[in-house]
């Protein structure tokens, strides 16, 4: 499903896919949805992170956290075979087998990948294991034996237990400046951001930790140095950091990565409608419905208010998105909705989400 846009004076910028030799910027018509921005960069000197095999003790400061985990955060280069596109971003080690998590938009359209540990490390050839544009996540794989001292996976926290105001630490390679650390707080939870294929990513973590192009795919950490999200987007008027960043929640990472390691891709359930909010009214207000979609076939109409999905109460569009993501293509679910003064329940047979959201 998708979410109806809300007008704003902000435009959203998708981070990390940093092209060499071209600048492409397309402004969203409404200014309310994320958009791809690719920028020219140069490599600058940066502090050399600690070895992945360095002793890791309980942190007492951001400096301690950085020393303990920065050796597990990598610089990613992505190129096409013909050399028509070169991009870069960040990533982090997720297991001892050499798997690295990053954003889908960092590796999008590329077929050659390298990973570098530390500014002075040698590039290591990586292969793409799998990618999921719907969550903006991808997994690369390297030979851990080629990393001096071995690899050390970062620990994963739980985004479901986060609270606004908790500490947030971002590590990555903004503008190619590897090993950069910034700090802030979790400024909001449950945001929706746009995925590379046009669908929505629910449950995003909002932070005021400074992130910029090149941070994409890098970890957002808590005060214990555990991953709480994957930095993906910023909201900006100027084209740079404005203090509002968004990360794909780590609970989504926990769900997506094992599936990518097994199959390389994910087939997602599809309801086929856009929804928004009705002021002061719990539920998901149905907007656009494309003909032939599961929602249309079930008789759902524009203006209906969805209040329950598969027996679970729906309070907002984000909860509807999350509920659909928990299902599989072909599943039949009961959808309770309000139409005018009446309440009715319809049965929807969910379809398979298309590769790209129809406009």
In a domain, 320, yes or no: yes
For residue 328, the domain's CATH number is: 2.30.42.10
- Per-residue pLDDT of 276-321, as tens digits, reads 999 999 999 999 998 999 999 999 999 999 999 999 999 999 899 9
In a domain, 77, yes or no: yes
Q: Is the pLDDT of residue 18 over 90?
A: no
For residue 2, the domain's CATH number is: 2.40.10.120
Q: Scan for tokens 């650390």, then name that residue.
A: 181
Select from 204, 239, 266 the last residue of a domain. 266
The residues facing 184 across adjacent strands are 168
**Two tokens, residue 164:** 């606004």
**Two tokens, residue 248:** 């794909």
In a domain, 152, yes or no: yes
Regarding whether 227 and 108 lie in a shared domain, the answer is yes
In a domain, 220, yes or no: yes
Q: Which of 136, 208, 222, 251 is catalytic?
A: 136
In a domain, 181, yes or no: yes
pLDDT level of residue 37 (50, 70, 90 thresholds): very low
349 contacts: CB under 8 Å, gap ≥ 6: 294, 297, 298, 330, 331, 332
- Per-residue pLDDT of 49-90, as tens digits, reads 444 444 334 446 999 999 999 999 999 999 988 777 788 999
pLDDT at 12: 39
Regarding whether 183 and 112 lie in a shared domain, the answer is yes
In a domain, 359, yes or no: no
How many domains would you assign to the chain? 2
Q: Which of 90, 135, 200, 216 is catalytic?
A: 216
Regarding whether 76 and 106 lie in a shared domain, the answer is yes
Regarding whether 189 and 129 lie in a shared domain, the answer is yes
Cβ atoms of 295 and 287 within 8 Å: the answer is no
- Per-residue pLDDT of 197-235, as tens digits, reads 999 899 999 999 998 889 999 999 999 999 999 999 988
Cβ atoms of 130 and 265 within 8 Å: the answer is yes
Regarding whether 172 and 279 lie in a shared domain, the answer is no
Select from 212, 247, 266 the last residue of a domain. 266
pLDDT at 359: 61
Regarding whether 81 and 70 lie in a shared domain, the answer is yes
Range of the domain at 248: 1-266
Regarding whether 122 and 234 lie in a shared domain, the answer is yes
Select from 249, 266, 283 the last residue of a domain. 266
Catalytic site includes residue 105: yes
Regarding whether 99 and 29 lie in a shared domain, the answer is yes
pLDDT at 176: 85
pTM here is 0.79
pLDDT level of residue 21 (50, 70, 90 thresholds): very low
Regarding whether 145 and 3 lie in a shared domain, the answer is yes
Catalytic site includes residue 72: no
Regarding whether 312 and 241 lie in a shared domain, the answer is no
Regarding whether 260 and 274 lie in a shared domain, the answer is no
In a domain, 174, yes or no: yes
In a domain, 5, yes or no: yes
Regarding whether 162 and 290 lie in a shared domain, the answer is no
């Amino acid at each position: 499903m998708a979410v109806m846009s809300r007008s704003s004076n902000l435009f959203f910028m998708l981070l990390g896919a940093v092209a060499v030799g071209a600048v492409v910027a397309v402004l969203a018509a409404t200014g309310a949805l994320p958009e791809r921005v690719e920028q020219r960069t140069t490599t600058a000197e940066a502090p050399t992170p600690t070895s992945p095999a360095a002793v890791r003790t309980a942190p007492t400061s951001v400096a301690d956290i950085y020393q303990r985990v920065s050796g597990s955060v990598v610089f990613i280069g992505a190129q096409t075979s013909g050399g028509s596109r070169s991009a870069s971003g960040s990533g982090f080690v997720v297991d001892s087998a050499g798997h690295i998590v990053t954003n889908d938009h960092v590796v999008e359209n590329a077929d050659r990948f390298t990973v570098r540990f530390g500014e002075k490390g040698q590039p290591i050839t990586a292969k793409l294991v799998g990618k999921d544009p719907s969550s903006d996540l991808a997994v690369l794989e390297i030979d851990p034996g080629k990393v001096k001292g071995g690899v050390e996976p970062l620990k994963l926290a739980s985004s479901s237990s986060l609270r606004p105001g908790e500490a947030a630490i971002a590590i990555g390679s903004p503008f190619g400046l590897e090993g950069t650390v910034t700090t802030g707080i979790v400024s909001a939870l449950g945001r929706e951001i746009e995925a590379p294929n046009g669908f929505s990513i629910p449950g995003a973590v909002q932070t005021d930790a400074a992130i910029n192009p090149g941070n994409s795919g890098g970890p957002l950490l808590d005060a214990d140095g555990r991953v709480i999200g994957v930095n993906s987007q910023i909201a900006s008027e100027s084209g740079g950091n404005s203090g509002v960043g968004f990360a794909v929640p780590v609970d989504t990472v926990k769900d997506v990565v094992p599936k990518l390691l097994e199959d390389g891709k994910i087939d997602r359930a599809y309801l086929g409608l856009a929804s928004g909010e009705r002021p002061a009214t719990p539920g998901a207000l149905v907007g656009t419905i494309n003909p032939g979609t599961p929602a249309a076939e079930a008789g759902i109409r524009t203006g209906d208010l969805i209040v329950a999905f598969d027996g679970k109460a729906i309070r907002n569009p984000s909860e509807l998105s999350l509920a659909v993501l928990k299902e599989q293509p072909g599943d039949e679910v009961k959808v309770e909705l309000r139409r005018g003064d009446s309440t009715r329940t319809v049965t929807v047979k969910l379809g398979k989400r298309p590769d790209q959201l129809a406009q």
